[in-house]
Structure formats: structure tokens, C-alpha cells
Structure 1
Amino acid sequence: MIDKNELLTNITILLKLANDRNTQQGVKVYIGAIEKISQAKSQEEIFIYWDKLKHALVGIEAHGYLTNKEFEIVKNIRSMG
């Protein structure tokens, strides 16, 4: 079971960290994930959006740049499922 509030907190932290370092990398993904997960009404919906977020984060990790702190948050998100 994925804790919706914990997931939203982690994504919000990623969004803040991206904004703090003045990058657009991941911002649209994070905003979209926050919106979708916030509106999710079931654990199944949360899982679907979490899984999509995980795939997006793999792309960011492979083709972009994550700070050590961002990478720790990404690892936390991955381990939730």
C-alpha cells in the first residue's frame, strides 16, 4: 500500500528542489503527478500514477541530472510500492 500523503510530500520536495536550482527538468512531471495523485480516489489509482511517475523518474535519471538529495527522494519514491 502506498501512503498517498508521503508520496505527495516526496514529489513536492522534488518540485521545490528543482525550482531552487532553477531547472525545468521534471517540473511538468512533478506538477502533473501532484495533481493526479491528489485527485486519486483509490489505492489502485495511486498505484497507477506512482508507476507512471517511476517511469518518468527513470528517464530523468538516465537523461538528465539529479542532485544527491533529489536522488535520495527518487529512491524513496521507488521503494514505496
Structure 2
Amino acid sequence: MIVRSSVPSPFGRKVKMVAKYLGVYNALTIETADTNNPDDTLRQQNPLGKIPVLILDDGRKYYDLARHLRISRFQSRWPHPAPDRK
């Protein structure tokens, strides 16, 4: 899976934090997106040009839905939380 985001995006950080919590962060490819660049492929992945965009391995893209959808998408694929890291 690919997450398109930018470093200052709080929503992108939220997706990455949940992926870490669920223990699937290493399964993600993080790609930087530039919302100010009209040539960035972000606009092909999300016509609204917003981040983050979650791109599944089968090519489906999730964007501008309820923000928790990205979280529930992770949980439906990996329903068990990561073990405690003490």
C-alpha cells in the first residue's frame, strides 16, 4: 500500500501513527505529495488534490472520505493491534 502525504500534514501523520500501532507500517510505502505543484501525480490519484491518499495494492484509492475510513481500512485488513512494545 502507498500513502501519499506531506510531512506537515496532521492527517497523514494520523494514518502513519495508526499503521505503526497496528504493526503494519513496514507494509506501507510513504510517498511525498506536493499539493502546490499542479504537475504532481496527486491530482490523478485524488481529483481534489488533497492528502493523504491511501492507494491499495489493487489500485483502489481512498481520499476525501470520512477521515476514519483510512483508519478502518487498516483495521479491516489487520484487525489485531500490534503487541505492546515495552
- Report the TM-score, using the length of structure 2 for normalisation: 0.36
Decide which structure has greater helix share: 1
Of structures 1 and 2, the one with the larger relative CO (CA 8 A, separation 6+) is 1
Structure number with bigger Rg: 2
Structure with higher strand content = 2
Q: TM-score, normalised by structure 1?
A: 0.37
